[in-house]
Amino acid sequence: MRSLILALAFTATAFAQTPPPTTKQNPPPGVAIPDADRKELETGVASLGREIDGLRGSLKANPVLLALLPDVQIFHKAVDWALRYDEFMDVKQVASAKRALAEGMDRGKALKSGQSPWAQASGPVLRGYVSKIDGSVQPYGLVVPDSQTKSPRPLLVWLAGRNDKRTELAFLDERWKSKGEFTPANTIVVHPYGRFCNATKFAGETDVFEAMASVQARYPIDPLRIAMAGFSMGGASAWHLGTHHAGQWCAMSPGAGFCETAIYADVFNAKKGEPPTWWEQALFHYTNATDYAANLANNPLMAYSGEIDPQRASADMMEKICATEGVKMERIIGPNTKHAYEPGAKEQLAAWLDEMIAAGTPAMPPKVRFTTYTLRYPTMKWITLDALEKHYERADIDAELADEGTFRVKTKNVAAFTIALPVAPAPLDKTHPPRVVIDGQEVVGPPVEDFWTAHFAKVAGGKWEATPTAYVAGKTHGLTGPIDDAFVDSFLFIRPTGKPLNEKLGAWTKSEMERAITEWRRVFRGDVRVKDDTALTAEDVANANLILWGDPSSNRAIKTLFEHAALSKTVPQFPLSWTADSVQIGTAKYSAPDHAPILIFPNPANPKRYVVLNSGFTFREGSTTTNALQTPKLPDWAIIDLRTPPGAHWPGLVVDAGFFDESWQWPKK
């Protein structure tokens, strides 16, 4: 596939971009608004904030109404942030801000009286939820059909194109004014915010599924009739979610957008500086939709392209790769059209979406085909991979209920997996257990229950055996690395309060932590939760990935980390030693006064969560010119030479970096 992608480079010259600037602030600086308007809005924000604080207390005894508080908070955050961070992109947004504050106050007063009229409203509706990642309030838009019903409805997830000025305030204004490109009959349409402008990757990806979960908790949704579509950056989002999560959708339609990094961003062009490092290239497998194209065999897909749109190249590339995978990719081409939906083609696509949504997806397809490169993406329909032989190399599993009672499974680069059936196919029952054949070897599975679940793992000699529980040792779900993987779930910054090992290290960790907090707000639109090392609790250890800043002298939590690692006998051996004189990771040793480690590892105090040393998400300001460059920049560990100052691409000079093996150990080679 790599050879194919490189061979396709000549077809993708339209993707080539001019050399990007060193940095690009997103969102860009706002405009000044009149002082009188600012004062009025600040007064309104303060008033709505007091209303929200009062509701938190008064609704404690009513959890149903308390769960609706984010539907009020989204308006407060949108205006508060626009004021606080000078993010008014146009003076016209002052009117939008006043409308948002008025809507927030109206909803707050309704909740106070036990009412929530917007929850029963049809048409465009604005709602919100609290994210598990950072506790931030995130908005999403809905289009609710006029007809009222208690029967489960289909859901269409619409993914928006890029807009560097789409702050929360701008997003709310968009969703008030427009129903969007597609509104299938009797279907709820959800417009995730996607954490601003990241092609729904990382926290943006989590946002899509958190928004979907919020909708499913509030409206009756048919889980077998959830479709997904998007255009431009939203098309890139659709390629990403459509290939990495293909089992989720009854239909998917990417329109334009990029589908991989190397060709689209022209990363090997000598005019753009140094090419990506070997580990960055390995980590392209984390995000490239092209690497997961085989998964498109599991669900209907209809790609859209304008005939003369430069971004048509992404669908051309995917079509060729799908052909090598034996997957036929359906397409609609808008004649003589650039970067837009052509009206006739749009009508054709809308009809196709209606047809696919009406049909839905089967609860128990007899065949499942799945390709992945990381257990961040482990599941397809009724198959879940629990362990790989090696991350960032292609892993395949093809599973089939070949007849009434026989499962045939073929694997590559798979060390453990689970079959979890939504229903037990007839005539299987407790007296007729299924026959399971894996890579030609017959394996005795467990008895059949009403919902049959079975776990299998490779043992010595490469033989397969059924296991009583899912394989959980080593790299597995939620514990795969790289460093960026810690920021797609709940995380907490732990700030040092002690004296650092040396002043240079102390200054660097302080600067990098402050930068990470600022960039998280700008890129992923949340406030980082920060605690002093002296305030860390057992609840924090249990519930969050801990991002530890400093060193064993300055940060009590890092010192405790080494103590736990020394005593632990149930988790992989912690690979780092760190003194005032030296930093040693694996077999490599560096002088401590001039070097700092960055690392992700299972927390020895809670192996179900990560601990990270001295890093936020790893793509920096130099990657904001195109979403295709927002990929992981560092692997599982790195050593930084502090004598080179941080820049737009790196936190200093990266003198070495690499991955731990599948057991979270230093690689033998």
Residue spans per domain, the chain = 2-7+121-359, 31-118, 379-467, 483-658
Judge: domain 2-7+121-359, CATH 3.40.50.1820: yes
Q: What is the pLDDT of residues 71-96, one digit of tens each?
A: 999 999 999 999 999 999 999 999 99
pLDDT of residue 133: 98
Given a cut of 60, whether residue 15 has pLDDT beyond it is no
Q: Would you place residue 431 in the very low, low, confident or very high pLDDT band (cuts 50, 70, 90)?
A: low
pLDDT digits (tens, 9 = 90+) for 501-533: 999 999 999 999 999 999 999 999 999 999 999
Helices and strands: H and E segment counts in the chain: 14, 28
DSSP state of 15: G
Q: How far is it, in rounded angstroms, from Cα 100 to Cα 105?
A: 9
Which residue, 166, 104, 176, 93, is CA-closest to 142?
Answer: 176
Alpha-carbon span 194 to 240, nearest angstrom? 13
Alpha helix (H) ranges present in 220-340? 233-244, 278-287, 312-324
Q: Is the pLDDT of residue 433 over 90?
A: no
Average pLDDT over residues 309-317: 95
Average pLDDT over residues 163-189: 96
Question: Six-digit token pair at 175?
Answer: 């969703």
* ω into 433 cis (within 30 of 0): no
Geometric angle at alpha carbon 57, from 54 and 61, rounded to 5°: 135
C-alpha to C-alpha distance for 49 and 63, rounded to whole angstroms: 20
CB distance 487 to 523 below 8 Å: no
Q: In what order do the strands lie in the sheet with 653-658?
A: 530-532, 491-495, 545-548, 606-613, 595-603, 637-641, 653-658
Q: Which of 42-51, 145-154, 325-334 has the least mean pLDDT?
A: 145-154
> In which order are the strands placed within the sheet that holds 441-444?
367-372, 395-403, 406-412, 435-438, 441-444
Average pLDDT value for residue range 636-640: 98
Q: Which residue has the higher pLDDT, 404 or 265?
A: 265
Q: Residues 649-668: what's their mean pLDDT? A: 94
pLDDT tens-digit readout, 86-125 = 999 999 999 999 999 999 999 999 999 999 999 999 999 9
* The predicted structure's pLDDT at residue 19: 41
Share of the chain above pLDDT 90, in %: 84
Closest CA to 541 of 638, 476, 607, 621: 607
Q: Name the β-bridge partners of 530.
A: 493
Does position 429 have pLDDT exceeding 90, yes or no? no
**Vertex 230, ends 96 and 152: CA angle to 5°?**
85
Torsion of CA 283, 495, 488, 56, to 10 degrees: -170
Both structure tokens of 664: 């979270």
Contacts 24+ apart (CB under 8 A), 644-647: 646/508, 646/511, 646/512, 646/515, 647/620, 647/622
Angle at which helices 233-244 and 312-324 cross, to 10°: 20
**Mean pLDDT over residues 397-405, rounded?**
87
- pLDDT score recorded for residue 111: 97
Question: Which percentage of the chain shows pLDDT scores above 70?
Answer: 94
SS (H, E, C) 458-520: ECHHHCEEEECCCCCCCCECCECCCHHHHHCCCEEEEECCCCCCCHHHHHHHHHHHHHHHHHH
What is the average pLDDT across 27-49? 97
Residue closest to 199 by CA, chosen among 280, 92, 311 = 311
- Reported as a pLDDT band with limits 50, 70 and 90, residue 5 is very low
- A 10 A CB-CB count for 661 gives 16
Least confident of 390-404, 418-432, 528-542, 591-605: 418-432
Average pLDDT of the chain? 92
User: C-alpha angle with apex 539: 538 to 542, nearest 5 degrees?
Assistant: 90
Q: Confidence band (pLDDT; 50, 70, 90) for 448?
A: low
Cα dihedral: 474, 475, 476, 477 (round 10):
130
Q: Give the pTM.
A: 0.94
pLDDT of residue 9: 39
Least confident of 126-135, 376-385, 456-465: 456-465
| Residue 432 confidence (pLDDT) | 67
Which tokens in the block code for residue 157? 């997830």
pLDDT of 183 higher than 60: yes
Element (H, E) at 385: strand 383-388
Residue 1 has pLDDT above 60, yes or no: no
Helix (H) or strand (E) holding 356: helix 343-359
487-518 exposure pattern, b = at least 16 Cβ within 10 A, e = fewer: bbbbbbbbbbebebbbebbbebbbebbeebbe
Question: Quick one: DSSP state of residue 558?
Answer: H
Confidence category of residue 150, pLDDT binned at 50, 70, 90: confident
**pLDDT at residue 177 tops 60:** yes
Query: In terms of pLDDT, which residue wins out, 402 or 373?
Result: 373
Q: How far apart are CA 578 and CA 591, in angstroms?
A: 10
**Rounded distance, CA 209 to CA 218, Å?**
14
Q: Which of 197, 209, 629 is nearest to 377 (CA)?
A: 209
On the question of pLDDT at 473 being above 90, the answer is no
CA proximity to 229, closest of 187, 265, 261: 187
C-alpha 101 chain-centroid distance: 30
Question: Which segments of 552-646 are extended strands (E)?
Answer: 576-578, 582-585, 588-591, 595-603, 606-613, 637-641
pLDDT at 602 over 90: yes
pLDDT at 427 over 80: no
